Structure 1
Amino acid sequence: MREHFIWVTTRRIKPGTLEEFERAWRPDPYPQGLRHAYAYWSEDEQEIIGVSFWDTKEACDSWRTSEAETRRREVMAPYVIEEREGFYRGRELAVPVR
């Protein structure tokens, strides 16, 4: 099975700011080595989980320490109350066919 490199961020945002936050979240330029990115939010739209899949840990680390990512975080900051993040490695689990 292929190994995945994943960066997960969980952010609590100010009430009523999901739309503005999503505009601020979009990276520019698009990061090198980023394969897929997903966003999931709670029913109250105040907690956002971002899951991104990377070619390598080094590609993710390069983006996380880049000037573009620093600027992106500054633009998101007015909407963010709390943030947690982590980097993980893993594999897809085989789910039995029913």
Structure 2
Amino acid sequence: MEEHFVWVTTRRVRPGALEEFERAWRPPSSPQGLRRAFAYWSEDGQEITGVSFWDSKEVCDAWRASEPEKQRRAAMAPYVVEEREGFYRGRELAIPQR
């Protein structure tokens, strides 16, 4: 089975700030080593979870330390109330067929 390298970040944003946060959240270009990225938000628009899949932990760490990522985080900061993040390794689960 293929192993995945995943960065997950959950942020709580100020009420009514989802649209501004989303503009700041999007990187200007696709980071090297990023395979896919997803964003999920709560019904009230105050909690956003980003899930990104990377070629390796090293390329993810390189992006996290890059100047474009520092600038992106600074742009998001005015809208973020709380942030949790973590790096994970895993694989797709096989779902039994009925």
Matched, 1:10 2:10: yes
**Counterpart of 2:29?**
29
Deviations 1:53-82 (A, max 9, x none): 001111100000101100000000010001
Q: RMSD over aligned Cα, in angstroms?
A: 0.6
Q: Distance in 1 between matches of 2:68 and 2:7?
A: 17
**Counterpart of 2:41?**
41
Letter in 2 for 1:58: E
**Counterpart of 2:62?**
62
Count of aligned pairs between the two proteins = 98
- CA shift for structure 1 position 29: 2.8
Where does structure 1 differ by over 6 angstroms across 4 or more consecutive aligned residues? Answer: none
Q: Distance in 2 between matches of 1:46 and 1:64?
A: 23
The answer (yes or no) to whether the contact 1:12–1:47 under 8 Å persists in 2 is yes
**Counterpart of 2:88?**
88
Letter in 1 for 2:11: R
Normalised TM-score (structure 1): 0.98
Q: Distance in 1 between matches of 2:20 and 2:39?
A: 14
